[in-house]
Structure 1
């Protein structure tokens, strides 16, 4: 596989990484000085501007999946994958983000919630429901694994090192400094990473302009010559983008629910008042549209590698983007893009470490050890992060050597189950009054059972053979969850009305 292996470029990569690490550590140290308890770690003490928080959200919501892994799906399966990942899922996600963030913040601020699990527990007055939601958030470790794998693919090629040392370095550095910074440093580091991602996104999207000006054949004609199904709205040969339901309906449903993740929906709680909500959302939405579109670069990569081979070897889906960057661009531009791609993943990695460790510490461990408070909780949180780091290295290495098509499948399966289970409790809690915990809890359990039942039971014709699409399982689970929650809610209110009479 190609890399930036010339001695001069190798030195330049190391220098760039050291400078980047130095800048990140500066903000971490600055934030750590004001982080004295778990409340500071979770929501911060600084007065962040709405624009800064919007930048942070956009950086955290689009990760190594968007910039490194997902372009590989587009390279493999063409326009159908682009429509799924860059059009219909973002439409659902952006609409949901706008609607949900305002309501979540309004209620979350009133009850002083710091995590989704805490929000749900307070909203439904149920400690057991809070604990259940907290355990579900652990499924987001699969997303951390995806990011770690994507970053390893880029860094190992840039530094010409084996995967395991690159993986270990990424995890130890990022998890190490996240033990101390928390929200006080997260917004600043995410802001820097978001600005880097803007430049990287523009460079990547414009990198294929020559393909559109080819005198012999237009861009889409070149794709058709490689494989006519690359330009089709639905790719019947793919395991994930076969028809209207899979490309459009499922992705709209998943997009609406995808914001119900701990590192996304809770970001609005960093706003100190409601006045900045619109500016926060405008900044986030504009950048999200740009970032989601980056996956189009996968089509450029397919033209560059028409047979999905590099140096006579098959090009794995997860390695398409790193191969494109290190093959197509000049060494200097590749160097900048490598740093930018690393930033794209680290931004979300930071957000996930902060949100998941906070949930485990304040919602799970605190439930069993309520006397652990203040600085003790901070120490426990650091131990939690250390354990998360070890698990991440083990799971990521397994995905590097033996993936099921892509690490994206593992991540989607875990994350989709989590936010499918959170969707109805949050929806009912934000927009309905006097919702019984039975309705929200039964809907959530139904989502988990349906998601994993459909996925592992290979239910529906979509799941019968080959690689299974977690989006199918999630979309159906969300619909089943809505139905169960609505039925229980109606029965509860009907019973209550009859008792009152």
Structure 2
């Protein structure tokens, strides 16, 4: 009989063959910088929607956040599993169609390029390209979460698992770029659907008596676990934290480069509706995996686990080796799907927005600039590997969860991005200096509240981000009434 580790390695190698094959197919659409950044734009909207769903729900949803739900109960699920997806739905419906239309008009390959073209100032592209490096904090969350899963299933050390986690997507993205990313995401999303059903169904016995039965079982462990607000938690202490902050985060999170830019992969405006229906519908199923955190608490009420170790431990306690191996592949798919999107976005931003635009202004021939930009984008992927290893190694033993580092960094990025994207999509003209003022307001408020420890909920990154989004949007609206420069894009 095969050992548990042999079964785990078998599933893992099968997964590598699957995504490797998808990457080889994606190489056909990776010719030139545009192919590397957004693919060939001949992919079905259903596949792009699956890619979006996979990117929306990463290792944070399948591995890390269930651990926070395990610690803090029903309030955590309401915040991360309902309020945030509702905000995401609003953001997608509000922004995707118009963003794609303007992306075609400006021939934009990245979100920074879109902002620069929309407001008629190349310097804005540079500003947002630099800010996009905050995405690295979210990459760290993913590689740490996946390393923990791999170490548990394959029987290897955390450091070895961390190296393996980083090396795998680097390889096939260097070959296929966005073409590989979209196709591998599709394959991963299908795997994730199967695994999501298994995880959601793993605690059906706890639903005997319906929702009230589930909450009664949680209340028997700790009454705070069954309440919509958990005053003893670090993240869900008030209705504002649970509902308002997570909803605002959900709306604003869509402005992340690797998410909103999915609309640029579509062939035509007619594809947007199916893309949104598939993307959000599948994503909502994925968000329901957060219920596993409640199941884990009921199964292991006194385990005292750290948040990031909950799901790997739950898999060992709840499933046999074969099913556990299959679920592990789904968890890897959940993490790699988003990690790939982040890596492609950052590589394209460095190549396109930091080099290509500069080279063209210096008189470099367009074809030469594009070849060099593509080469620089791929070198960026290589350079990111040691950065992710060093930061990931540091977060293998965080104070609470690697989620705090990731949220603090990426929330700062989308807080600074939200106002100019919203105004640009809605057709509101802003002067470039107003865009800069809104971005700086967002950064000052978000990081000022968090590191200045201002207010009672400063240590929950969603709260500083919410105030940053609201105040920076107010600054943009006030700036709207300033005199407009002649020739400003409408």
Structure 1 residue 439: Cα displacement: 2.0
Asked if 1:409 is matched to 2:386, the reply is: no
CA contact (8 A) 1:240 1:246 kept: yes
Asked if 1:342 is matched to 2:337, the reply is: no
The aligned counterpart of 2:472 is 481
Q: Deviations over 1:249-292 (max 9, x none)?
A: 11111111110001100001111111111111110111111111
SS at match of 2:175: coil
Unaligned runs of 5+ in 2: none
The aligned counterpart of 2:226 is 231
Structure 1 residue 116: Cα displacement: 0.6
CA contact (8 A) 1:235 1:241 kept: yes
Counterparts of 2:121 and 2:332, CA distance in 1: 40
CA contact (8 A) 1:51 1:279 kept: yes
Counterparts of 1:45 and 1:347, CA distance in 2: 19
Q: Deviations over 1:58-115 (max 9, x none)?
A: 0111100000000001100001111100111111111111110001001011111011
CA contact (8 A) 2:100 2:263 kept: yes
Among 185, 193, 201, the residue aligned to 2:188:
193
Counterparts of 1:233 and 1:179, CA distance in 2: 45
Structure 1 residue 7: Cα displacement: 5.9
Counterparts of 2:427 and 2:375, CA distance in 1: 38
CA contact (8 A) 2:428 2:480 kept: no
CA contact (8 A) 1:37 1:377 kept: no
Among 318, 333, 337, the residue aligned to 2:308:
318
Counterparts of 1:21 and 1:329, CA distance in 2: 23
Structure 1 residue 305: Cα displacement: 1.2
The aligned counterpart of 1:329 is 319
Counterparts of 1:255 and 1:36, CA distance in 2: 34
SS at match of 1:108: helix
Structure 1 residue 37: Cα displacement: 1.3
Q: Deviations over 1:187-206 (max 9, x none)?
A: 11101100111111111111
Counterparts of 2:104 and 2:412, CA distance in 1: 27
CA contact (8 A) 2:37 2:348 kept: yes
Counterparts of 2:470 and 2:281, CA distance in 1: 29
TM-score, normalisation: structure 1? 0.93
Counterparts of 1:239 and 1:176, CA distance in 2: 38
CA contact (8 A) 1:450 1:477 kept: yes
SS at match of 2:400: coil
Q: Deviations over 1:149-181 (max 9, x none)?
A: 110111100011110000101101111221121
CA contact (8 A) 1:91 1:252 kept: yes
CA contact (8 A) 2:41 2:267 kept: no
SS at match of 2:483: helix
Name the CA shift for 1:160/1:214 in 2 (closer, same or farther; >3 Å): farther
Q: Deviations over 1:349-382 (max 9, x none)?
A: 1111111111111111335544452333222222
The aligned counterpart of 1:105 is 100
Please tell me the root mean square deviation across aligned C-alpha atoms, in Å. Answer: 1.8
CA contact (8 A) 1:71 1:320 kept: yes
The aligned counterpart of 1:358 is 348
Counterparts of 1:69 and 1:479, CA distance in 2: 27
Asked if 1:398 is matched to 2:394, the reply is: yes
Counterparts of 1:230 and 1:283, CA distance in 2: 33
SS at match of 2:232: coil
CA contact (8 A) 2:59 2:142 kept: yes
The aligned counterpart of 1:30 is 25
TM-score, normalisation: structure 2? 0.95
Structure 1 residue 433: Cα displacement: 3.8
Asked if 1:261 is matched to 2:253, the reply is: no
SS at match of 2:480: helix
Counterparts of 2:451 and 2:158, CA distance in 1: 30
The aligned counterpart of 1:373 is 369
